[in-house]
Structure 1
Amino acid sequence: MTSSVSPVPEPNAPVSPVSVTVDAVEHSVDFVRPRLRARAARRVALYAGVQINGAPHVGTNVMQTAAFLLAAAARDRLGVAAELRFGALDNAPHDTRVCPRTGTRYTRSYHHALGPARTEELVKRFYGGLFDALTALTGVPYTVETYTRQQHSPAFREEFLASLGRWEELRWTLAPSSGHVPISFPCPQCGWLQKAGEHTELLEAGERGARFAAVCLDHGRYETDVRPDGEAWLGLTTLHRNLVKERLADRDEAMPVIVKGADWAPGCRLLDEAFLCFPGAHPPARVFTPVVLSASGAKLSKSLMREGRAELSPGTPPWMLYATRWEGTAQRYAVTLHRLVSLMLSDPRHFERGYTTSELARMWTESETGRPA
């Protein structure tokens, strides 16, 4: 038996409880090692999402910075080539309408409301400067691909059609309470779709294609064909979309590593069960990053921000809710985030936890100045 000596904590280190992975995991990137050994992979691609429906909050930027640092750690600690692939979710609702007669909600995505050019401008505005600065700091390259572009690929559509082939089993895995997993298609005339797909009907399905019928609030019934080489735009629920994306990522030569905030852990339990519906399939390696909590203990959330219910802890600067209110340069913001998240990654017990906005503000000040707050 050997005894281990705990490292001397840094002056601004958080006080964190003992992690359940103590003595098993020295660095959070080591969660990737078992799958890496089993696959004998020489390259890894870390996948993370980018929401474009408004300015990011600091919790989003912590997750993204962690993705860069985890990729650098995979390169340096595990000896593999590593890159980042961010998915820009231009399928987020831009506008919402409600049918006055039935109460059915219809939405129009950012892609359909703004178009590709303006969508790419939003991504660059909210994340371009930060990502470029983090690449300079870590040496990790990144790419950004919109959901619209990704779902247009034949491989994505093949995986979607494969999910339909196992639908009776899969739908109770993705929605165990009801078995209802909506699939929606935008109206070809106006781009609006039923958010919950109440009137979407699967007419026929096979390995090489499927046909659906749906209803538009303004233009009535329409039909959509989904083929690997087709043009149909797929509106999928969060879990269904992630299942298709993760199975698509597994086709790549680079081993996929999924990076998400720790609030995603319950959803990933369902995703991992969904993978088991496909014979011989294995869920991807996953790493969960710390979440940032508001005064109430709820994580920072764009939906709560829009509703005016995202309360900051007392004394927390407002830019933590809206990163665009940061008054410094993108470079300074990135450097401070790099220091802050490096501190979180210095010990798994610091990484496997959440942080209130007040605690994050304290750590931010010390990371920015190098002195205790």
Structure 2
Amino acid sequence: MPSSVPAAPQPAEPVSPVSVTEGAVEHSVDFIRPHLRAHAATHVALYAGVQINGAPHLGTGVLQTAAFLLAEAARDRLGVDAELRFGALDNAPCQTRLCPRTGTLYTRSYHHAAGPDRILELVKRFYSGLFDALSAMTGVPYTVETYTRQQRTPAFREEFLASLAQWDRLRFTLAPSSGHVPISFPCPRCGWLQKHGENTELLAFDGSRARFTAVCLDHGRHEAEVGPRGDAYVGLTTLHRNVVKERLAAREAALPVIVKGADWAAGCRLLDEAHLCFPGGRPPARFLTPVVLSASGAKLSKSLMRQGKAELSPDTPPWMLDATRWEGTTQEYASTLHRLVSLMLSAPEHFERGYTTAEVVRLLGRTGSGPRG
């Protein structure tokens, strides 16, 4: 009898419920096709954020890899030039203090606490190697720009001032429960600011220039003037900052496409409504990428992991929580993410869902640490 030859192991595939877009969408990149037709666009720029506040976890890697693969698909499937623009959020809080008298929370950003040279080191350490590898694999170019640099540009400041002109409508769109949307200005002497802007006041605004007063815990009251040019550092809440940045992206020749994790769905609803507060405003094209979930169903979160509340399954490899614990080469790390996200993009129903760390382990077919990135 001929000896039997064992069959080669088949790669694991996602098992996903039927998508509500079945029959309408063949590939997730097709969601931007109507925008391309409406704008007669031949060039797209995908925008995604990069948090500069510690080592990235797997959820961050999935979003970034998805951005590269979606840009590649836009180029190959839709026939447009595509590039990636990553925003390095160096405005994330690095240090916090409480006023002992009032309990007011003050923060200092990574930019103000660490300085621009250290920020560039963090970007290089956590992201540059992965981005270079994914760029080589997909042929998609990318750039990285810090929030600090972006908020200094005249165009950003013009869009911020435009938001003030629509403030009565905009503030209840960005904060429906209260209408309170803090604007904060770091102390020019030490960089500390009131996180919730309790004592920030708008003193004057003429449409092209605004003058504010703010309070520093150590140095007292200070003023900040925001015009098309100037040194004042503009600190905005997450939603306010995003609507300003998205309107800024709409000024570019390339069609802007915003890439965020699916946990942003509720926030994007508010952002889309915020765009309609502006004369002629329209929401941008968006991609929402799969989130990676803990055993409890909550997405991987740096804050929950720091608090010990992530409730991770026992088979979660350490590198899924901290990319620097991946053993091996950056190229192998990028290849693993490429393989994983390619599975997610193989059908819309696989892309329109979340994945627990246990399911990712099953899809990748291993439980140990992978190559070091």
Same fold per superposition (TM over 0.5): yes
Counterpart residue number, 1:209: 209
- List per-residue Cα deviations over 1:344-366 (Å, max 9, x = no partner): 10100000000000001111236
Contact 2:316 / 2:367 at 8 angstroms: preserved in 1?
no
Displacement after TM superposition at 1:11 (Å): 4.0
Q: Which residue of 2 aligns with 1:54?
A: 54
Per the alignment, residue 100 of structure 1 pairs with 100
Unaligned 5+ segments in structure 1 are 1-9, 369-373
Paired residue for 2:148? 148
Q: Say if 1:166 and 1:116 are closer, same or farther in 2 by CA, change over 3 A.
A: same
Kindly report which structure 2 residues correspond to 1:83-162, keeping only aligned pairs within 5 A, or say none. 83-162=83-162
> Which residue does the alignment assign to 1:165?
165
The alpha carbon displacement at 1:207 in A equals 2.0
- Contact conserved, 1:47 with 1:84, CA < 8 A, in 2? yes
Q: Tell me whether 310-319 or 190-199 shows the greater mean CA deviation.
A: 310-319
Q: How does 1:24-103 map to 2 (within 5 A)?
A: 24-103=24-103
1:282 equivalent in alignment to 2:286: no
Separation of aligned partners in 2, 1:315 and 1:77: 37
Shift of 1:295: 1.3
Q: Which amino acid aligns with 2:321?
A: L
Residue 60 of structure 2 aligns to a residue whose secondary structure is helix
Alpha-carbon distance, 1:48 to partner:
0.3
Q: Distance in 2 between matches of 1:113 and 1:66?
A: 31
Cα distance in 2 for residues equivalent to 1:246 and 1:289: 18
State the 1:319 CA deviation. Answer: 1.2
Residue 366 to residue 72, structure 1, CA distance change in 2 (3 Å): farther
Q: 1:71 & 1:328 partners in 2: Cα distance? A: 27
The answer to whether the 8 Å contact 1:340/1:367 transfers is no
The answer (yes or no) to whether the contact 1:339–1:367 under 8 Å persists in 2 is no
Q: Deviations over 1:315-346 (max 9, x none)?
A: 11111111111112110000111111011101
Q: Could you tell me which amino acid in structure 2 is paired with residue 279 of structure 1?
A: P
Q: Which residue of 2 aligns with 1:4?
A: none
Query: In the comparison of the two structures, how many residue pairs are matched?
Result: 359
In structure 2, what is the equivalent of residue 364 of structure 1? 364
CA distance in 1: counterparts of 2:43 and 2:191, whole angstroms: 39
**Paired AA for residue 331 in structure 1:** Q
Deviation larger for 321-330 or 85-94: 321-330
Aligned with 1:218: secondary structure? coil
Structure 2 partner of 1:322? 322
Contact 2:361 2:367 in 1 (8 A): no
Provide, for residues 99-133 of structure 1, a one-character-per-residue CA deviation record: whole Å limited to 9, x for no partner.
11111000000000011111010011000110000
Residue number in structure 2 paired with 1:198 = 198
Other-structure match for 1:16: 16
2:341 aligned with 1:337: no
Q: In the alignment, does 2:189 pair up with 1:186?
A: no
Contact 1:161 1:206 in 2 (8 A): no
Secondary structure of the residue that 1:256 maps to in structure 2?
Answer: strand
Shift of 1:310: 1.7
Preserved CA contact (<8 Å) 1:211 1:223: yes
The residue type equivalent to 1:107 in the other structure is T
Aligned to 1:236: 236
Residues of 2 paired with 1:184 and 1:307: CA distance?
27
Offset at residue 288 of structure 1 (A): 0.4
**TM-score for the superposition, normalised by structure 2:** 0.95
User: 1:172 is paired with a residue of what secondary structure?
Assistant: helix
Q: Counterpart of 1:256? A: 256
Deviation at 1:52, TM superposition (A): 1.0
Distance 1:63 1:149 in 2: 23
The Cα offsets for residues 177-201 of structure 1, whole Å up to 9 and x where unpaired, read as 0000000000011000000000000
RMSD of equivalent CA atoms: 1.2
Per-residue deviation, 1:220: 0.6
Distance 1:312 1:331 in 2: 27
2:303 alignment counterpart: 303
Aligned residues of 2:57 and 2:300 also touching (Cα < 8 A): yes
Matched residue, 1:3: none
Conservation of the 8 A alpha-carbon contact between 1:12 and 1:366: no
In the aligned structure 2, how far is the partner of 1:366 from the partner of 1:311? Answer: 20
Q: 1:145 to 1:53 in 2, by over 3 A?
A: same
Q: Is the 8 A contact 2:317 2:367 kept in 1?
A: no
Residue type of the alignment partner of 2:283? P
